[in-house]
Amino acid sequence: MKFSISPAPLAEQKKEALVVFCQGGEILLPSGSAGLRKQLAALLKNSAFKGEPGQVAQLPLNGKQVLLTGIGAAKYFHNGLLEQAAAAAIKAGRAAGLKTFAMASTLTLEGVSETDYQLLAGRGAAWGTYEYATFKTSAKKSAAATLTFAGPVEDRGVIKDAEAQGAALVGTADLANMPGNKATPTAIADWAKTMAKENGLTCKVMGETELAKKGCGGILSVASGGAEEARMIILKHKGTDPKAKPIVLVGKTLTFDSGGISLKPGKGMEWMRYDKSGGMAVLTAMQMIARMNVEVPVVGILCAAENMPGSKATRPGDIVTAYKGKTVEVCNTDAEGRLALMDALGLAVDMKPRAIVDIATLTGAVIMALGGSAAAVLGNQPQIVNELIDAGLTAGERLWQLPIFKDYSDNMKSDFADLSNISKTPGAGTATAAAFLQEFVPEDIPWAHIDIAGTAWLESPKPHQAPGATLFGARTLAQWVASQD
């Protein structure tokens, strides 16, 4: 989606559709829009539209279409609703055959700055153009869409950032939605190489031979039951201060998770293509970071493998050795993500980073705790956790902190190895998984873990997107990294 800026007010824009946000019954327009507000209020008198989240009303006005889109009541508002409302409006407009859109460049919304509004609304509009039709043989390519921000814009760079971030989301979404037979570890590595070249990043891919030489026994054990070889994909953004310590982002990239020998139930297993969502968030964030050309160096690591129950698969009770030498008893092969992540975290530590954040669809327990409304964040230092929560609130992705008590770490000890990959006692699955990962990061390196198992995927359609990958976490990571400059 191409963005532009026009100094003319929204009512004067000669576009097919005007996008107008509503907070409940309040029409959100900038000052100087009294005439347009009055016309819309008259149209709404006999309408069922109440400005609720996800609600879109298409109304004819002066030869154009107005797309009223709701963000809900003020007391329940969070930034994610604004981005979703923009996406829902564009999605509805596209379904009606509209191609050219305009929205106000500013609006008054408590707690949302002008630049935050432009980034959220623009990024959401771009996301609203996305549709996954790769394997639909009858699908026709949709015409390109445009969005004009109508009115004064103080910082035009924000509009460019919104366009770039929207393009990164849309550009990665097909890969994120692809099934395991198409988005293999090798295919993802090839995609990452091409993306890196296009965005000024460097890309190194470690195959099984190099991983074995390094002693990365965790990811190799995960991949041992399948025909697909594991890949460790390392992307680097040099930054404008190459002497600075890098931030490292690590993403779990399980291209398909059958559970291995500890086989998952068959019902719903087709959705396990989503287990690569952490890596997809990192891929997307790295594109955003590169296009914004942030000052700090950033490294993105994707630990890519598939977990299958083949004749060479890791068995429950097997002991594997992680990079750096710690031993792990694999008590359940369906707790495989942490085995791949422990090697990636070890490689991240070697880079002497200023901070490490890993992101993963790691536990079903987080869905029980938080559902699909928020991701869990846990870490070894309060500052990095608080920074990520704040970045998420600004970026429209809600994070909720869970603790890592010493009890949880104690429960990950094994009678036969240094660690077990599951807890000795039931409960607190998200926290015990994080406690396991914490064992691979020195205390003096700020580290946080984000569990997106409940937020990374939609199984049923929403007004702002069809079923599939949400790329949750990419927006937060890009926001947080940019704040570190």
Q: What would the two tokens of residue 248 be?
A: 């490292």
Write down the pLDDT at residue 243: 85
- Phi/psi of residue 180, each to 5°? -65, -25
241 marked as part of a ligand binding site: no
The CA distance from 13 to 26, in Å, is 22
Give 205-208's long-range contacts (Cβ < 8 A, gap of 24+). 205/231, 205/232, 205/233, 205/234, 206/231, 206/232, 206/233, 206/234, 207/231
DSSP state of 465: B
Integer-rounded Cα radius of gyration of the chain:
23
Write down the pLDDT at residue 459: 93
Beta strands across the sheet bearing 327-330: 318-321, 327-330, 419-420
The CA distance from 407 to 107, in Å, is 49
- Dihedral sign for Cα atoms in the order 231, 451, 322, 351: positive
CA 110 from chain centre, in angstroms, equals 25
**With contact defined as beta carbons under 8 Å apart, do 192 and 302 qualify?**
yes
pTM: 0.97
**With contact defined as beta carbons under 8 Å apart, do 222 and 230 qualify?**
yes
Catalytic positions, written as ranges: 264, 338
User: From first to last of its 485 residues, what are the pLDDT tens digits of the chain?
Assistant: 999 999 999 999 999 999 999 999 999 999 889 999 999 999 998 889 999 999 999 999 999 999 999 999 999 999 999 999 999 999 999 999 999 999 999 998 999 999 999 999 999 999 999 999 999 998 888 889 999 999 999 999 999 999 999 999 999 999 999 999 999 999 999 999 999 999 999 999 999 999 999 999 999 999 999 999 999 999 999 998 878 999 999 999 999 999 999 999 999 999 999 999 999 999 999 999 999 999 999 999 999 999 999 999 999 999 999 999 999 999 999 999 999 999 999 999 999 999 999 999 999 999 999 999 999 999 999 999 999 999 999 999 999 999 999 999 999 999 999 999 999 999 999 999 999 999 999 999 999 999 999 999 999 999 999 999 999 999 999 999 999 98
Q: What would the two tokens of residue 184 be?
A: 């293999």
Angstrom CA distances, 177 to 49, 282, 301, 453, 466, stand at 32, 15, 20, 15, 11
275 marked as part of a ligand binding site: yes
318 marked as part of a ligand binding site: no
Number of residues assigned to the chain = 485
Give 261-270's long-range contacts (Cβ < 8 A, gap of 24+). 261/225, 261/309, 261/313, 261/314, 261/315, 261/316, 261/333, 262/316, 262/332, 262/333, 262/334, 263/309, 263/334, 264/334, 270/179
Write down the pLDDT at residue 7: 96
The CA distance from 177 to 133, in Å, is 10
The CA distance from 432 to 424, in Å, is 10
Spell out the domains of the chain, with CATH numbers in brackets: 2-146 (3.40.220.10), 169-483 (3.40.630.10)
